[in-house]
């Protein structure tokens, strides 16, 4: 990176991507209501190739506690059923020959607490990733100053800007995990 602006833009992009990734992980956590995100990423052995479920079937949630999976290939029903059972999601698919229905059972208090722990762990992993981006950016800013491309004042301001970005993204993650916990604990 040749200048401070490139470093700061790179920091923002990487931290935004980390926050988006966490949001995607949270979408896959079960909350007691049907969400296609619960099964979208399940890997199905489709003609010997691991394929995401969303790539070989339509997934919808016509009712609050029911997912309906409509495979594009009628021969994939058994493979999809097997993959959902193997994914250990706590749900049992029902195959009627045309579509696969996945009833979403009510979550127990104990299961809700387990899912909250998973959400907190995922959030902590995202915080660590953001701190790693900060560390790399700080090193890049110091290297720019050392090579004479920026002054000491610009270096100091760059370090402050990187820290502001880090604080903002960590606050976003904290809010996301708080929202997910509240969503999970609603009965």
Check whether residue 10 and residue 49 sit in a common domain: no
Q: What is the pLDDT of residue 187?
A: 65
Residue 32 in domain: no
Check whether residue 49 and residue 62 sit in a common domain: yes
Q: What share of the chain is helix, strand, coil (3-state, %, to 5)?
A: 65, 15, 25
Check whether residue 98 and residue 112 sit in a common domain: no
Q: What is the pLDDT of residue 126?
A: 95
Structure confidence by residue, pLDDT tens digits, 12-33: 999 999 999 998 888 777 666 7
Check whether residue 173 and residue 135 sit in a common domain: yes
Q: Report residue 161's pLDDT band, with 50, 70 and 90 as the boundaries.
A: very high
pTM of the entire predicted model: 0.71
Which domain, by its residues, includes 156? 4-27+108-185
Instruction: Retrieve residue 169's tokens.
Output: 């993204």
The tally of domains found in the chain comes to: 2
Check whether residue 84 and residue 138 sit in a common domain: no
Q: What's the whole-number average pLDDT of the chain? A: 89
* Range with lowest mean pLDDT among 11-25, 31-45, 52-66, 173-187: 31-45
């Amino acid at each position: 990176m040749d200048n401070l602006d490139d470093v700061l833009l790179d920091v923002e992009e990487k931290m935004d991507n980390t926050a988006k990734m966490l949001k995607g992980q949270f979408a896959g956590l079960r909350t007691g209501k049907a969400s296609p995100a619960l099964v979208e990423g399940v890997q199905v052995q489709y003609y010997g190739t691991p394929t995401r479920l969303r790539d070989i079937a339509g997934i919808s949630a016509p009712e609050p506690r029911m997912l309906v999976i409509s495979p594009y290939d009628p021969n994939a029903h058994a493979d999809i059923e097997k993959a959902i059972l193997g994914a250990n999601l706590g749900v049992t698919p029902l195959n009627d020959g045309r579509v696969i229905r996945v009833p979403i059972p009510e979550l127990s208090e104990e299961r809700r607490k387990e899912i909250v722990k998973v959400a907190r762990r995922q959030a902590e992993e995202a915080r660590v990733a953001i701190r790693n981006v900060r560390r790399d950016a700080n090193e890049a800013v110091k290297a720019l100053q050392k090579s004479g491309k920026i002054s000491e004042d610009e270096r100091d301001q760059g370090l402050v800007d990187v820290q502001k970005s880090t604080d903002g993204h960590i606050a976003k993650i904290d809010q996301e995990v708080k929202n997910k916990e509240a969503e999970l604990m609603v009965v």
